[in-house]
Structures are given as structure tokens and as C-alpha cells.
Structure 1
Amino acid sequence: MRQEIGETGGGLRRGGSLVAKDARHVLHPWADLSALGGQGSLMVCEAQGVEVMDSAGRKYLDAIGGMWCVTVGYGRPELIDAMQAQARRMPYFTPFADVANEPAAELAALLAELSPGDLNRVHFTTCGSTAVESAVRIAHLYFASRGRPAKRHVLSRVNAYHGSTYLAASLSGKEADRTRFHYETEWVHHLENPGFDPDDAPLSASERLGQLIDGMEAAIADIGPENIACFIAEPVLASGGVLIPPPGYHQATRELCRRHDILYISDEVVTGFGRVGHFFASEAKFGIVPDMVVTAKGLTSGYQPLGAVLISDHIAGTLTESADPAKPVFSNGFTYSGHPVACATAIANIDVMQREDICGHVRDVGPYFVERLRELRNSPLVSAVRGDHLMACVECQVPGETGPTARNQALAGRVDAYCEKAGLLVRPFENLCIMSPPLVITKDEIDRIVAIMTESLARAEHDLRAGEIC
């Protein structure tokens, strides 16, 4: 989506031979394959607080938090010291079978304390994708252990994002991400996008809720509840465009799952660890206790790769009581499950968040962030602004066009490029500018984001009128 503007902005990158090495040898996630090796990347070399610096010494306010994950900000000595101390003491040992390590055990107990309900068993993974994959496998094992192996189908949603491993990508419902890879289609089903924007919705919130629940009930009846293992849902659909369901949606879908003996998996990879003002949003904000919660990203503030599945005592107890006598092994896990350095980092991250009341800070500045961004609707190029605390989306459109048309995507790319030139990094996706800044951001820094976005929209509008965006 990024475009070049002049000689030093937008898609033109700095960094000399490092950029050349990157272009020649690295295959980035979501890279444009048609331009592979032909364009340079932003070579980010340093980071501190809420800013990152490129190889030319230019600073940028990071309004995407790395990738939804930087909670306590860059350069925190508490996390760095914890990483270093654990690496010196013991950098790694196998997590398999009857071998444990101290940081993993300590972190599991902390997560059980922070999580809702009886989610007291933790299975560590490497990231959100592997945590999602593990959660679905656990759901399958749970029903197989109860003598119901036919319950293997999974319900997800259109515009959901759950990761990029084979199963996680199959669960994801973003059409733009569906390319020539293969996806599971036999037992993965996508319900309607639940997003509700009161600014332009043709229905009331209660009418939209009824429509969504009727659709979910119809899908369950069509597939057969005896065939469905689980429903996986982000409380707020993050990468799909910060899509917020109507009030009551979470409780209603949870009740449907309970009624039909369908496990509820809450994907809190993004909404967890303070992004919307709580360590976990499922119960504290949306009033539900899931059967499993998936977490990653903010778990370590992005300082180390780590994911986890939080599992209810009921599920864990069933797996124990009904274990296959011939093969009782839990045959799921990863070389780096419960990695001691990653777990030590997560413990330090939780300590900082609790000591500094990061969640309380988010509850204070989050509404201000969304309200300031909503001022951007004064631009004729902005069709919608959606947000929940420190996750937000500005939807761009050429007047008279709707959706991710070629011109709308080019327009959003131009806005993104002007933001970057002015020292602000936002995340472009289709015709959206998505933001998720570090949770330690201040109101003054929020004002800076809005000022740069306002100027960038004005410059893009000038380009549109001049016929430069097509």
C-alpha cells in the first residue's frame, strides 16, 4: 500500500547495504510478491518509549505498537534485565513431559490469578497462531475424550484474524488474506461479520444483535450442534478493522455455545494485557467467562515471542479423567513452549503493568484517544472512525466510493505515506489506517498523532483533487 512521495518519503527507504541485504534475502510476512527484491524496507534500528528510529536517524511515533504488542513501551530496563538475568542463569531447556522451569511455573500461576473464572491450566506456545491452533486441538481432544469425536467443526467469523499457521489461517476470515495457499474448508465455518458502527448502521443495536444471533443459531442448526466443537472469537476484531460487535453480543453467543455444548474460545491476543483497559477483557469488559482464552503479543510487551492457552479446570479435568489408557500423552507442544527467557520477560512485564497501573492508564487515555480520532471525520476522505480504548481504525474513501476499491486503497496508502514522512507510523490495510500505540502513550502524544493524521489527510485530499490518486 505504501507509495513514494518525492525523494525521501513514503516507499523510499534508507539504510544502504542493510536495506539491500534485506531486499535480496528476507521474505517478510505479507510481502508484495510481485515486487519481491525490488523495493526497500524501513530499516528500524532503535526504539525508546513510544518512538522508533530508522537507520538514517529519523524518529517515528509508533502508533501501531510494533504489531499490537508493545504495552509498556520500548527500552524498559526491568524487562531487559529480566531477559539478561534468566539467559545467564539458564537460557533454555526442554519443556517436554516431566521437565519444568521456574519462570514458566511462576508465570502460569500469575496467568491463572489474572484470568477469569476457573482458567487455571496454562499451555505455553510460541505466539498467537500456535496458541490458537493448540486451543482448537484441545477442543477436539476434549470431545474425543468424552466419546464424541464427531464434534470437530469450528465456528469463526468473517473478517476475523487468528494467525497464519495452516489451521489459524483457515480460521481467519479476512478475504484479502486468502491467496493461493490452501485452507481447511470442510469443518471450518465463518459466521457473519459482527461489526456494528452506530454512526452509519441502518439497524439499531438490538436489531443488529438479533440478526447476528439468528444467523449463528441457523448455522448451528445447519451444521448440527452434535458436530461443532468450538466457537472462536476476538472480543474486538482487530486486524479485520477494529470491528466492535453490538452490546450484548458476547453474552448471547456465549449462551448459545453453552446451550449446544460448544466450547467458547476467546482470542485475546490483541485485547488482552491492557489494550482495552484490562489484563483480560472477556469478563471484565464483556461479561463472559470463556472455556479457553488465547493470549500472546502484550504478554511480553513484544520483548520475547510467547503465547499461551488458558484452559478451564473442567476441560483439563476431563482430559485427565478420560485419558486414553493406551496413549495418555498430550501430543501437542513446541520446542520453545514455556521458554524460560520469554517467561521471565512476561513476569517482569506483568510486574511493571501492575506497579504502574497500566490498565488504569489505558482506561484514562483510551476514551480520549478515540474521541480525538473521531475529529478526523471532518475530512471528506474519512468514512468512519472506530475504536475501543487504544485500538482504533480510520477508514479512508474517495467520496462516492465505498469499500476497499483500488482508489480507496491508493488513497489510504497516500495517507500512510504522508504520516510516515511526518514521523508517524500507522498500519495500512486495504483502505484502513489501523492504530494500536504503546499503552504508556500520553495525551500529548495522542494529540501529535491526530495532528499528523489531520495534515496527512489534507495533503492526500489535495493530491486526489489534482488527479494524482487513481
Structure 2
Amino acid sequence: MLTNLDEHMRIERLEDLDRRHLIHPWTDLGAVRAQKPLIIDRAEGVHVYDVEGKRMIDGMGGMWCVNVGYGRDEIAEAMAAQAKRMCYFSPFTKNSTEPAIEFAHRIARYTPGDLNRVFFTTGGSTAVDSAIRFIHFYFSFLGQKEKRHIISRENAYHGSTYLTATISGKPGDKPNMRFATDIVHHLPAPNPYRRPDGMSLEAFGDQCVGDLERKILELGPETVACFVAEPLLASGGVIVPPPGYQRRTWEVCRKYGVLYVSDEVVTGFGRLGHVFASEPVFDIVPDVITSAKGLTSGYVPLGAFIVSDALYNQLLDAAGEGQMFANGFTYSSHPVACAAGLAALDILEREDICGHVREWGPYFREQLGTLADLDLVGDVRGSHFMVCVECVADKKTKEPCPSAWSVAKRVFERCRERGLMIRPLGNWIVLSPPLIIGKAEIDEAVTALRGAVRDVQGDLVREGVWRA
């Protein structure tokens, strides 16, 4: 039996090894030697526990992904059973496995229109990257090699491959990195909170839709391959575009022969109350949908892009003889991952988790909206179980908090003390809990966040850097 001293030594060892060997995503290299890693030891339902036994509501849902919650034996057992039967086989050329076939079939039941063709990848970044490669292949196949330009948006996030990092538009991710800037173009973010003073929401919507049309005409419709858009811009601050924006931009793409890629890596598999939100929430049937995260509820990496029959069927039979879509991954269609996805989808369906999100998501959003009465909070935005609280130095001018204040990081630490995990992003506090969260946990999370923001407000005033 471990003593308290043994346990203390174990934790110190893990912290030391972490600092010496692990490179974390999005690491502040100036602080990496001094920072103490937060080591999560176990999880159950909507809660995670660190190595010291501290229990916290996971307001992040892992990373937008643990949709059906932690500790689902059914998923773990499905993975184990598949691994025992056959852990892996190459997915290339004609090779296939039953879990991959069945999961593709199940996914196609939920996609809008004729989006029936599923290409499995290893995560969201490779899903978007592969979708773009497919689109470039498609136009080249049709003899339209000049159609290669990609339109995205500022504050968008689409991945971490070389191409998807270029398509992403978060300015804080750009320094010291290199990108394929010759074919990627970014529109202004469709963020109503940051629209010009005095401009109506309707006029701002017109401007945002016009931005897309003007860019297509500037580049020439014959050169533009696709518009890549998250229905709601997730890690770019949970930006909710003006009403009707998604449908109207889809119509612009149709008008000019530009393919529409709906990046549902975050919004898919229940986060907005539907397996896919494109059609039931935003009234669009895109040419391509990308997915990951909730695809397996985060239990194992998997991504996918789903393409329409209208596009894919043009490449088949005699027309496609000798042509090779040269894209794929060793772990595409991984049978263990697909088994996990099937089990996660079973839970989503059986427990009507999408219905639960439609019922309680508005309450989650409304309760977080009450934080707008705090002096440090400028905006609360989002939908259902994806919400952002934006902190500002001045509510009237919407002036952002200086980076030196480290507002969201401070709120993160204060939330941890109160039993809540949030995602800090600059001046943004992002919440995207497991979709099974109930009223009691919602109320607890909102109370904890309110107390944490109040604490940080007090700290800033005492330090003499801000006056409420």
C-alpha cells in the first residue's frame, strides 16, 4: 500500500519526467521549464480527477470530443473485443474490415443529401487535409487544374497539418511558422460582437456574405476550388455568425461553382443537438463534411470526410480507369477505432443524447449568459454545449484585456480550485462539456465560473492594473 510520501514522490517524478521529455501542443516555450503540469489520472461521467485526487467537472469535454462521457465500458469493451479478434490490417486498395464498413454505413444514415461516401482518417486535421486533397484531385481529374484556391476565414481553425494550418486563421498561431499562402485566402471573421459601431446585425450579415462573393470574383470563380467553413467557429472564440449566414454563403458557392466544405469536426455528433448540424440547424447540404472528435467520443483517434455521390460518382468506372487518389494513412479505417465509433454511436442513439442536448443546451447557454453582468465580461456567445465567455478591459469600448493580464489563464486556475476545468484562450473562456451533463452540474459549473471571474477581477484591481 502506497503511503502519502510514496504518492508524493510518484507525482513529483511524473512532473519532472513531463518537463524533461514531453512536448505539449501549443506550449509556451518560455514557461515550459517552470510550469507544473496538470496530470489527469482518471475520469468518470462528466468529471476528471487529477493525480492528487481533485475532482473537477470537465467543462472542456476533453477537447470538444468526449461527447458521451467518460467511463463507458461499452466502448472500451468493443475496442478490446476488436483488438483481440484483429487489431489491424492495411486499409489500402481493396482491403477492408467489418467495423470500417459498418461504421461508414451508419454515418451515411445521418449525412444530408447524397453525402454517402466516407473516407476515414486519423483525426480532424487529416480529415480536412484529405478533403482538400480530394477536391484538388476532383478538379484536376475534370481538367480544371486552375481551380485550386481555398477560401477560409480569420479566427477559423481547421487543423495542424501544413495545409490545414494555412487554412486556419487564428493570428496567434502564425508567428515563426510557414504556410502555403499562395492558394489560401482569409475573409474577415463573421463575429457580430466585433462588428462596426452602429452597424445592424442584418447589415453586418450582408457584409460578411458580400466578403465571400467579392473574394470569389477577385480571384475568379474559375480558380476557386472551395470555401471551408466551421458552422460555428470553435476554437477561434465560438463565433456565431449572423442569422442566415451559413445558408447565404452556401448559395454564393452554388452560384459560382465553388464547393462548400462544412467542417463539423466540433459541431458534429451531438454538440448542437444533431449528429450533423449542417442541414437541420443551418439549412445547408454541403459538398463535403469533415468530422472527428465526437466521432469516437474521444476514446481513440479517428477522423473522416464525407463526400457527395454527385462528386464521387464522376470519378468512377471508365472515366477513372488508371487514375489514383493518392491519399491515405496507415491507420485510415482502423478497425479498433471504427469499433469504438460504432459503440459511441450506439450510446448516442440509445440514450437520445442529441435530444438531451436540444433540451438542456439552451439552459447551459442561458445560465452562462448571466455572467454578462460581471465587469470583466464583454460577451457571452455560443449555442447549446459550446459557449465562449469573452473578457474585456472595457465593456463600452470592447477593448481587449492586455496579454500581460493573462486573464483566461487566471480564470482557469481559479476554476480548478472550485472544481471546474475550462479552456483558456487569450481573453476567451471556452466551455464544451460532455453532452451528458445535467442541470445540477450545469449550475455548479456556472457558479464556479462566476466565482472565478470575480476572483480575477479582484486580483486585477488589487494589482492596480484595472479599475472596474
TM over 0.5, yes or no? yes
- Residue 236 of structure 1 corresponds to 232
Counterpart check, 1:52 vs 2:48 = yes
Aligned to 2:382: 387
Aligned to 2:392: 397
Q: Deviations over 1:215-253 (max 9, x none)?
A: 211111110000000110000000000001111111111
Separation of aligned partners in 2, 1:210 and 1:280: 26
Shift of 1:202: 3.5
Aligned to 1:263: 259
Q: Report the CA distance between 1:146 and its aligned residue.
A: 1.0
**What letter matches 2:334 in structure 1?**
H
- Which residue of structure 1 lines up, in the alignment, with residue 276 of structure 2? 280
1:75 equivalent in structure 2: 71
Instruction: Please report how far the alpha carbon of residue 204 of structure 1 lies from its aligned counterpart in structure 2 after TM superposition.
Output: 2.3
Question: Residue 409 of structure 1 contacts residue 431 of structure 1 at CA under 8 Å; is this kept in 2?
Answer: no
Aligned-residue offset at 1:460: 1.1
Q: Aligned partners of 1:43, 1:201: CA distance in 2, in Å? A: 44
| Change in CA separation of 1:173 and 1:409 when aligned onto 2, cut-off 3 Å | farther
The letter for the 2-side match of 1:121 is R
The partner residue of 1:338 within 293, 308, 333 is 333
1:25-424 mapped onto 2 (5 Å cutoff): 25-197=21-193, 202-321=198-317, 323=319, 325=321, 327-399=322-394, 402-407=398-403, 409-424=405-420
The equivalent residue for 2:6 is none
Q: Shift in Å at residue 412 of structure 1?
A: 2.4
- Residues of 2 paired with 1:252 and 1:92: CA distance? 43
Aligned residues: 457
Q: Which amino acid aligns with 1:222?
A: E
What is the distance in 2 between the residues matched to 1:22 and 1:408?
Answer: 26
SS in 1 for 2:41: strand
SS at match of 1:264: strand
Letter of the 2:267 counterpart: T
Aligned partners of 1:43 and 1:55 also within 8 Å: yes
Secondary structure in 2 matching 1:285: helix
Partner residue, 2:462: 466
191 and 199 in structure 1: CA distance in 2 versus 1, 3 angstrom threshold: closer
The separation in 2 between residues aligned to 1:242 and 1:322, in whole angstroms, is 45
Asked whether 1:425 is paired with 2:409, we answer no
Residues 58 and 422 of structure 2 are in contact (CA less than 8 Å); yes or no, is this contact kept in structure 1? Answer: yes
How far did residue 29 of structure 1 move?
Answer: 0.4
Whole-angstrom CA distance in 1 between matches of 2:59 and 2:143: 48
Normalized against structure 1, the TM-score is what?
0.94
Amino acid aligned to 1:332: N
Taking the aligned partners of 2:208 and 2:391, their CA distance within structure 1 comes to: 26
Structure 2 counterpart of 1:16:
12
2:406 aligned counterpart, secondary structure: helix
| 1:391 counterpart letter in structure 2 | M
Within 2, Cα distance between the matches of 1:242 and 1:373?
14
Superposed CA deviations along residues 157-208 of structure 1, whole A, max 9, x for unmatched, are 1110001110010000000111211111101000110122499973223211
Given that 1:141 and 1:319 are in contact with CA atoms closer than 8 Å, whether structure 2 keeps it comes out as: no
1:167 maps to a residue whose letter is L
SS of residue matched to 1:397: strand
> Which residue identity lines up with residue 343 of structure 2 in the other structure?
A
How far 1:411 moved relative to its partner? 2.3
Residues 1:309 and 1:215: Cα distance change in structure 2 (over 3 Å): same
**Distance of 1:146 and 1:463 partners within structure 2:** 61
Matched to 2:370, the amino acid is E
Is the CA contact 1:44–1:55 (under 8 Å) kept in the aligned structure 2?
A: yes
| Distance in 2, Cα, partners of 1:449 & 1:395 | 17
Report how far residue 16 of structure 1 moved. 1.2
1:8 — aligned with what? none
Aligned position for 1:10 = none
Q: Which amino acid aligns with 1:317?
A: N
Residues of 1 paired with 2:302 and 2:332: CA distance?
8
Report the 3-state secondary structure (helix = DSSP H, G, I; strand = E; otherwise coil) of the residue aligned with 1:164. coil
SS at match of 1:311: strand
Between the aligned partners of 2:405 and 2:162, the Cα distance in structure 1 is 27
* Ranges in structure 2 where 5+ consecutive residues have no aligned partner: 1-9
Paired position in structure 2 for 1:3: none
Q: Kindly tell me: are residues 73 and 224 of structure 1, through their superposed partners in 2, closer, same or farther at Cα, counting changes over 3 Å? A: same
How far apart are the structure 1 equivalents of 2:192 and 2:107? 31
Q: Which amino acid aligns with 2:359?
A: D
Q: Distance in 2 between matches of 1:241 and 1:116?
A: 27
TM-score, structure 2 normalization: 0.94
Aligned position for 2:5: none
| Change in CA separation of 1:439 and 1:468 when aligned onto 2, cut-off 3 Å | farther
1:398 shift after superposition: 2.5
Q: Distance in 1 between matches of 2:446 and 2:198?
A: 29
**Structure 2 vs 1, CA of residues 361 and 122 (structure 1 numbering), >3 Å: closer, same or farther?**
same
| Distance in 1, Cα, partners of 2:80 & 2:320 | 42
